[in-house]
Amino acid sequence: SAVISQKPSRDICQRGTSLTIQCQVDSQVTMMFWYRQQPGQSLTLIATANQGSEATYESGFVIDKFPISRPNLTFSTLTVSNMSPEDSSIYLCSVAVRVWNEQFFGPGTRLTVL
């Protein structure tokens, strides 16, 4: 298993600003993922964070809006850029240790954009 921490746990931001969310894992992991979850909805994958290369983004998400860094095997950041109220959501990072196997999630970041 893996223990994951996220910072900040919540934030209230003004439109037009940017917020960087940090995800720290207690062990080296192969894959890290960033999700967005609207209240009462399922999880939507934003991107897969690859160590040593650019993140792989899902349809509807672009690097300019959601730049991701993965400097090593235990840490990643997601930036939500030029925020609008539509970006208000919960952002979750997760890790996968082995292929075909389960993911472990951080506690999430609750973002409100005014």
Partner 1 sequence: GQQVMQIPQYQHVQEGEDFTTYCNSSTTLSNIQWYKQRPGGHPVFLIQLVKSGEVKKQKRLTFQFGEAKKNSSLHITATQTTDVGTYFCAEGRSNYQLIWGAGTKLIIKP
Question: Binding residues for partner 1, per CB under 8 A?
Answer: 30-31, 33, 40-43, 45, 48, 92, 96, 99-108
Contact, 88 vs 15, CB < 8 A? no
Q: Residue 52 or 100: which CB sits closer to partner 1?
A: 100
CA distances from 60 to 32, 44, 63, 70, 106 (A): 19, 10, 10, 21, 23
Distance CA 25, CA 64 (A): 25
Q: How far is the CB of 17 from partner 1 (least distance, A)?
A: 25
Comparing CB distances to partner 1, the nearer of 14 and 39 is 39
CB of 108 to partner 1, least distance (A): 5
